[in-house]
Chains A and B, each alone.
Chain A
Amino acid sequence: MLSELGHLPMDFLLLAAAVTLASLGFIAGRLRAEQFSFNGDEHPNSRPNAHGYFVLMWSLVPVVLVGLGYTFFGEGTSRAILRSELPAGFSILSPGELTTYIETVARAARMPDFLSGERVFDTVTDRYGEIRGTLNLLTLLLACVLSFGGMVLARRSLSPAFRARQHVESGIEWFLFLCAALAIATTVGIVASLVFESMRFFAEVPVWDFLFGTRWNAQTSAEFGALPLFFGTFMISFLAMVVAAPVGLFAAIYLSEYASGRVRAIIKPLLEILAGIPTVVYGFFALLVIAPTVRTVALWINAQLIAWGLADGALLAAQPTSALAAGIVMGIMVIPFVSSLSDDVIRAVPQSLRDGAFAMGATKSEAIRQVVVPAALPGIIAALLLAVSRAIGETMIVVMAAGQRARISPDPTSDLTTITVQIVSLLTGESEFDSPKTLSAFALGLVLFLVTLVFNLVAITVVKRFREKYE
């Protein structure tokens, strides 16, 4: 009986309960308020609907809270209960195996009438179904009781003098605040999960070895020296900026200082298309076009060097996937990040500065180079920092076009790996976070988060200062 309740469509039932109880609350509140308006000598403070919404609010909030709690903690709680009830014989399983076992049980319990034929497994599955059923029943009961209680209490506090609208409005304001606070909660969640899992990792691998070790071999949980990954990330971001910085900057200068309004109106959206193309498409482009081209050119250079007697063997590695290919494509991707923001800051430089330069006899390019760009420099640097941060955190291009080999090599045509590539390859297809292998991905994530955070914060502060200076 109880295990049958485990199959209840809880999301639907909770939603139905919320809708029903909320409507009931509204009707109850409004009916009560209408009584005042018909027979009251007093003029009621709020209109009947406001009273209705007040009761609705107090009957809806408990259901929503219980429902959220059930969604996020229901599965975990029932698994924890099951784990504590398992007989002693299961202690031979390692924690990881036990988690996998319970995962399988939970999956089997979701299927109606599932029987594996193995007695122990079926018993455990049945027990799990019972736990789920009990939990479902309790959740529904709790939601209804709390909501009903809230409804009764709220209805009781209604009176003609009751400031229902003000209460409803402050309730809404609280809800708005919670929505805004979700952004904070996200950051807290990111930091907490990264730090928590990283601590577990650093309990097994010393921080020093991780940050300064030069050998990375995480797939076999053997070596965790992340320096080659940092080098690869740095190298590819550097190559990307070699492409993006001059192109983005000159494009911004041309658009803001030279181009006519019509040209600007066409070119600027075209450049911004580059920022709107999904990164996986850039990855495909790198794999299909740029990487083979880089390889061909590198092979040609090798052959020329040998032909001219400048080298005895192949000088460039000329790998099928290379840091240079990933760097070029990533550079193309971040061009609009540089050009768009630089364009904004250059346009924000007051016209009087340009006029002053012209009055001194400067040509247009001299005015730009010696007056406008220096004045806009903080903003331009911020744009470059944001672009670097974007390049460091970019994943799909490097996953597809940079390679998997962790090594430190100054040759741009060799394949390098990056922080993001390793995070993806360590965590794809993994659900257990209990080996150093998977935990190392979180340590890498923490490094990535902190580095990009510094870049972003500096850039955001600089831009803000700059705006305040000229606006």
Chain B
Amino acid sequence: MSESSSPPFASEKALKRLRRRRAADRRFKWYGRLAIGFALSALALLLASIATQAVSAASYHVVAFDLDVDRETFGNVTPDALPPVDEVYRRVHEDLLARFPEAIDDPAKRHALNGLITRLAVLPEARAIVRDRRAVGAVRHVRLPLSDDLDLYLKGAIARHLTVPVGRVDAVQDVETGTISLTGEGAFTRLLTATSLEGVPSPGMLGGGSVLLSAGLSTLKASSLDSSGASGTLLTGTLQDFRTHPVRAQLILAPESERPVTDQQIAWLLALKADGRIARVPHWSLLTHTDSTQPELAGALAAIVGSLLTLLVTAALAIPVGILASIYLEEFAPRNRVTGLIEVNINNLAAVPSIVFGLLGAAVFLGAFGLPRSAPVVGGLVLALLILPVVIIASRSALKSVPQSVRDAALAIGASRMQTVFHHVLPLAAPGMLTGAILGMARALGETAPLLLIGMVAFVAEVPRSPTDEATALPVLIYSWATQAERAWEPMTGAVILILLTFLIAMNIVVVFLRRQFERR
């Protein structure tokens, strides 16, 4: 319908109107595209932001130590004794003090040094010493997780910083105790450019970021800086290192008062790193540890087991009951008022907010029946009631899709109605029913609100062993980690979400696979 071939009666006005209508038509199509684009980009943004966090938490920094497990201190450790956490931690502390003697006489620095590794970080090692008698009397090579803030600093997630190579300097002088100056013609030009580009105020100014100069295992904090010289206080190490090693500068953009890591701690980190004692390793403890107050030590194991136990109870109840209920409604129920009521009721129940099921669980299971709080058995019961309508609706549609001829054939050769259903209809509907059951379980795995109301939000440090033990679940763990104040919990939360999504994706893959198989028949 090009305009040249338009009939002669088409006036200019009519053609204009037609163009307007066609433009409206194209716009309308674009609204649809925009809507889909918006929804998909929201999905992409959501998944990307979680993946970024999860990737950051997938590895973490550990510090290597040689622990001398001597007989005097650890000789009398028996397998049923409490793990010697304090003794092991003292070894770690002494090791660090020997490495950084500047902290020996300064209580504030000692405290900062202790901040490198938290006390609880040695618990697995202490347990290993209790468990393994051969460990006593030998030197253990252990790797302990670095404290969360320092780990985030090394990952670049907090206190943005950058490293600028300076090279060798010509002269190193000890101005007064602890204060040294470095001089080299033009050696600091590049560093000066970088500081002005990054907007770091000149060193020593109040409220500015910091410039740390390090060489070998030593680091100083610059207090003045120009193109041919710098001076500042020695944070750790010796003067000698600056003569023998090339100098590198670390620019930290945030002022010291606005970040959780101090310049002194960063200096120690740089020394440990130069010493080759810090390594970035896969964060397996996320899967093998239970919850902890320290982000670097926390793991999701208890929550994973708790979720599995809860789902076990849910599956044991909701799947058989849901399938049997759907068989009754589809194959046996007379069409009367009661059946109609049950049907409306099931459709409505599927849309009742999940938190209302939590209220039911709190009032009836905990209040009236006195079942234990925080237990997977109660969580499983509540979730079973919650997904029952989902399972029933899916199973009914699976039964509906079985051809009537199958039933007629069975009945014609004298099978009873029960035999028809269980011997002939059910096997054909089974894949569809299974699909519905898995989708229901996936819904149950992601539910949080009802579990909060029945107390499954408690801090659980032990892996639950039975459905009546205290437990928490994966989504609840996500909730409690996401609402913690410390920054380090964000990547951890992202990682746990990834674990949860992996389970959900696995379930959905099974569903897709089943559907394919089913449709092929």
Binding site for B on A (CB under 8 A): 71-73, 75-76, 79, 106, 165-166, 169, 172-173, 175-177, 179-184, 186-187, 189-190, 193-194, 196-197, 246-251, 253-255, 258, 267, 270-271, 273-274, 276-285, 287-289, 332, 335, 339, 363-366, 368-369, 386, 389-390, 392-396, 399-400, 420, 423-424, 427-429, 431, 433, 441-442, 445, 448-449, 452-453, 456-457, 459-460
Contacts and interface: CB of A to CB of B under 8 A. Distances in A.
A403 to B, nearest CB: 12
Nearest to B33: A254
Contact of A76 (B368, B417, B490, B493): B368
19 contacts: A72-B369, A165-B416, A181-B342, A183-B342, A193-B364, A247-B35, A255-B32, A267-B40, A270-B43, A276-B446, A280-B448, A281-B478, A281-B501, A365-B27, A368-B28, A395-B355, A399-B449, A400-B479, A431-B373
A246 B35 contact: yes
B53 interface: yes
Interface string B343-354: 011111101111
Interface of B: 21-22, 24-25, 27-29, 31-36, 38-40, 42-43, 45-46, 49-50, 53, 320-322, 324-325, 327-329, 332-333, 341-342, 344-349, 351-360, 362-364, 366-371, 373, 385, 388-389, 392, 416-418, 442, 445-449, 452-453, 455, 457, 475-476, 478-479, 482-483, 490, 493-494, 497, 500-501, 504, 508
A75 B321 contact: no
Contact of B352 (A165, A285, A332, A452): A452
A420 B449 contact: yes
Contact of A251 (B32, B333, B342): B32
Contacts of A190: 352, 356-357, 359-360
A433 to B, nearest CB: 6
Given A183-B392, A424-B453, A258 B29 contact: yes
B25 A183 contact: no
Contacts of A175: 324
Contacts of A460: 344, 347-348, 351
Contacts of B42: 274, 332, 335
Given A365-B24, A448-B356, 15 more contacts: A76-B370, A183-B349, A187-B348, A250-B32, A251-B36, A271-B36, A278-B475, A284-B50, A284-B482, A288-B490, A332-B43, A335-B42, A431-B366, A448-B353, A460-B347
Given A73-B369, A176-B327, A250-B32, A452 B359 contact: no
Nearest to B317: A182
Contact of A180 (B43, B45, B325, B500): B325
B21 to A, nearest CB: 5
B382 to A, nearest CB: 10
A176 B327 CA distance: 7
B355 A424 contact: yes
Nearest to A456: B351
A75, A187, A253, A448: residue with the most chain B Cβ atoms closer than 10 Å: A187
B113 to A, nearest CB: 33
A386 B353 contact: no
Nearest to A396: B448
Contact of A364 (B25, B46, B497): B25
A288 B355 contact: no
Contact of B24 (A267, A280, A363, A389): A363
B38, B53, B501: residue with the most chain A Cβ atoms closer than 10 Å: B38
Contacts of B490: 288
Given A285-B49, A288-B490, A393 B352 contact: yes
A194 to B, nearest CB: 7
Contact of B32 (A258, A280, A400): A258
Nearest to B389: A183
The 4 closest A-B pairs by CB, nearest first: A393-B353, A254-B32, A278-B446, A250-B35
Contact of B345 (A75, A176, A184, A279): A184
Given A278-B504, A393-B353, A187 B449 contact: no
A250 B363 CA distance: 43
B328 A177 contact: yes
A84 to B, nearest CB: 16
A279 B442 CA distance: 13
A123 B369 CA distance: 25
Given A184-B345, A393-B354, A448-B355, A247 B38 contact: yes
B449 A424 contact: yes
A395 B448 contact: yes
A399 B480 CA distance: 11
B376 to A, nearest CB: 14
Contacts of A448: 353, 355-356
Nearest to A328: B42
Given A177-B328, A271-B39, A276-B504, A187 B321 contact: no
A289 B342 CA distance: 43
Contacts of A186: 349, 360, 385, 388
Nearest to B351: A456
A197 B332 CA distance: 37
A180 B325 CA distance: 4
A395 B457 contact: no
A175 B325 CA distance: 9
Contacts of B447: 278
A283 B348 contact: no
B435 to A, nearest CB: 14
A395 B353 contact: yes
Contacts of B36: 250-251, 254-255, 267, 271
B399 to A, nearest CB: 12
A251 B32 CA distance: 5
Contacts of A106: 370
Contacts of B445: 278
A365 B348 contact: no
A364 B28 CA distance: 9
B342 A184 contact: yes
B341 A280 contact: no
Contacts of B388: 182-183, 186
B21 A431 contact: no
Contacts of A194: 356, 359-360, 363
Contacts of A399: 449, 479
A270 B364 CA distance: 39
Nearest to A106: B370
B351 A79 contact: no
Contacts of B40: 267, 270-271
B32 A276 contact: no
Contacts of B53: 288
Contacts of B348: 187, 453, 456-457, 460
Contacts of B355: 393, 395, 420, 423-424, 445, 448
A179 B328 contact: yes
Contacts of B29: 254, 258, 364-365
Contacts of A73: 369
B357 to A, nearest CB: 7
B27, B53, B360, B494: residue with the most chain A Cβ atoms closer than 10 Å: B360
Contacts of B362: 427, 433
Given A363-B25, A366-B21, A445 B356 contact: yes
Contacts of B322: 179
Contacts of A165: 416
Given A271-B39, A369-B28, A442-B359, A173 B448 contact: no
B359, B368, B500: residue with the most chain A Cβ atoms closer than 10 Å: B359
Nearest to A335: B39
Nearest to B329: A180
A51 B339 CA distance: 31
Given A395-B355, A396-B448, A456-B351, A183 B453 contact: no
A179 B321 contact: yes
A189, A194, A196, A278: residue with the most chain B Cβ atoms closer than 10 Å: A278
Given A183-B325, A429-B457, A460-B347, A281 B370 contact: no
A251 B30 CA distance: 10
B437 to A, nearest CB: 14
